[in-house]
Every structure is written in structure tokens, then in C-alpha cells.
Amino acid sequence: MIDVLFSMGTPPLAIGRMWFSLPLLVAVSLVYSATRHERMGPILVHAVRFAAWIVGFMAIILVVLIVLAWLT
Amino acid sequence: MMSTVLSEPENRLHPAEDSPRIDLKDRHLAAFLGWLIPGSGHLYQGRYGKGVLIMVCVLGTYFFGLYLGQGKVVYASMRSKDRRLPYLCQVGVGLPALPALVQSYRVRHGKQPLWGGLMAPPNLDRSITAPDTSGNSIRHPDQLAKWHYDLNAYFELGTVYTMIAGLLNILAIYDAWAGPMLAVPNDTSPPGAPT
């Protein structure tokens, strides 16, 4: 199934472009957390947890897409 | 107009571990400043850490998106052939997105765009013929098509970055206006209290 992602031995273009999600992940996590807390410590802790949630959610969507691609 | 967000136990929305007394000063002015320059509303309120954090994150995201899109992904247009709805999100960053309104006004009134065309809406009235990287001549139906051809996925990436920056700043504006919003904790009524 994973060969859908890594066909022909090279990662598809979309894998390289996924790095563009990293700065967004950091910015979204920090700003969202900053609207939930006032002090820097809780903001950073919340940001890490929130980033983990986003990555987990994106991973679930990725798995669903891989399965759909594998089925078709 | 002065506003203060109270700390626990006066305000049960803010748990004690994270509830300094916040002087929001003039919350409407803070919200306006926060829109005009992201983070500046917090700086005005003396919330320097959060102000710098929001400024760096929002402006960093916005300008990185603008860089990816080579300055072409933020423009204001409500023409029937090109309704640029992403601008409604992008304008959330305030001043850095406002040149698009100036450019749009000038183009609508037949004037040349300023600043080398930065944030100017594309010309949709005539086709453009330009060589590609192989030297072949390519005919683009309009300037917007050429932008998409030249920038490829970076046009969409730049658009997404700048949109998210604007949307994030709306969260920050609310924070400047009302203070941090926390989920209501579990009921902390003393034992035996009537429910």
C-alpha cells in the first residue's frame, strides 16, 4: 500500500511539499495557544499538545487517502 | 474605556495557575491596533510576550506566503471573472494587506499600479505570449493564467499562507479585545453547596 506514496523509488512531489506545512503547524499552534493562556509556559505546553493533535489528525487523513488510493 | 480581566476566584474562566490580572486598557483601541499591525494591540496593553509572539508568527506566516507567491497572491478583486475571496481572509493582517486596496482602486480607475505592481490585480483583458523555460512561446489567456503557470503550486501555497495569517490574526484580535478565552473548568462549588 505504501508504494502508492513512494512509487518508482522516489517520493512523490507532494511529500516534498508537505514540509511547507511545518511552519504553518508551528504558527497555528503558537497563536491558537496564545489565545487560550496568558503566560508563556502554559502557552508553549498547550502549543506542543495542539501541534500533536494536528499532526495526528493529518496522519489519519493521510491513512484514509492512502487506503482510498490503494482501493482504486 | 478601561477593561480588566479578573483573576481567580473572581473570574472562573481563568484558572489560578494562568490568571494574572490583565488590564485590557481600551479594548476597542487594542483590537483595532491588533488588526492594523498584528501583535501591536497586545503591546499596547503591556502584554509584551504575547504581542511579540503573535507579531512574529502572524507576520512571519504572511510575509513567507507573500514571498512564495512573489507578491502576486495578495490582491483585491471582485470582478465577475476573478472574485478574489481569499483576500477577505488576507485582510485580517491589516496594514500589510491594505496596499492591495490601493492598487485595486487605481486599476479600476485606469491608473498605473504603484510599487512595481505589487499586490495589483491581474489584467484579465488581454492575452500574454511569453517564452517558457525551454524557450517555447506560450500563449496565456490572461495575466492571472500566466501567474499560475509561472508560480505553479507556489501560487496556492502563498495564498494559503497569507490566508491563514489573516485568520490567525482574527483570533489574536479577539484575545486583545476580551483576554484569553479558556474552557469553563469543572464546577468548583464547595462540597454541600446547593446545585
CB atoms within 10 A of CB B83: 11
Closest Cα of chain A to B163: distance in Å? 11
Buried b (16+ CB within 10 A) or exposed e, A10-46: eeeeeeeeeebeeebeebbbbbbbbbbbbeeebbbeb
Q: Which residues of A touch B (CB under 8 A)?
A: 17, 20, 23-24, 26-28, 30-32, 34-40, 42-43
pLDDT score of B12: 43
- Nearest C-alpha in B relative to A28: B168
Which residues lie below 8 Å from residue B160, measured CB to CB, with a gap of 6+? A24, B65
Query: Rounded to the nearest 10 degrees, what angle do helices B153-178 and B27-36 cross at?
Result: 170
pLDDT in tens, B137-173: 989 999 999 999 999 999 999 999 999 999 999 999 9
DSSP letter string, chain A: -GGGTTGGGS--HHHHHGGGHHHHHHHHHHHHHHTT-SSHHHHHHHHHHHHHHHHHHHHHHHHHHHHHHHH-
Chain A interface test: which of B168, B169, B182 (most A C-beta within 10 Å): B168
pLDDT at B195 over 50: no
- The answer to whether B182 contacts A42, with C-beta atoms less than 8 Å apart, is no
Domain ranges of chain A: 2-71
pLDDT score of B19: 59
pLDDT at A52 over 90: yes
**pLDDT > 70 in chain B, percent:** 83
Residue A28 with chain B: CB contacts under 8 Å: 164, 168
Residue B19 with chain A: CB contacts under 8 Å: 38
Q: Which residue has the higher pLDDT, B44 or B9?
A: B44
pLDDT score of B105: 95
Q: How many interchain CB pairs under 8 A, A with B? A: 68
pLDDT score of B10: 42
Give the rounded distance of the alpha carbon of B187 from its chain centre. Answer: 37
Which residues lie below 8 Å from residue B63, measured CB to CB, with a gap of 6+? B96
Q: Which of A24, A26, A38 shows the shortest C-beta gap to B18? A: A38
In B96-144, the DSSP E strands lie at 128-131, 137-140
What number is the average pLDDT over the span B20-41?
Answer: 92
d(CA A35, CA A15): 31
d(CA A31, CA B151): 29
Please report, as a single letter, which amino acid is at residue B188. T
pLDDT score of B102: 96
d(CA A59, CA A55): 6
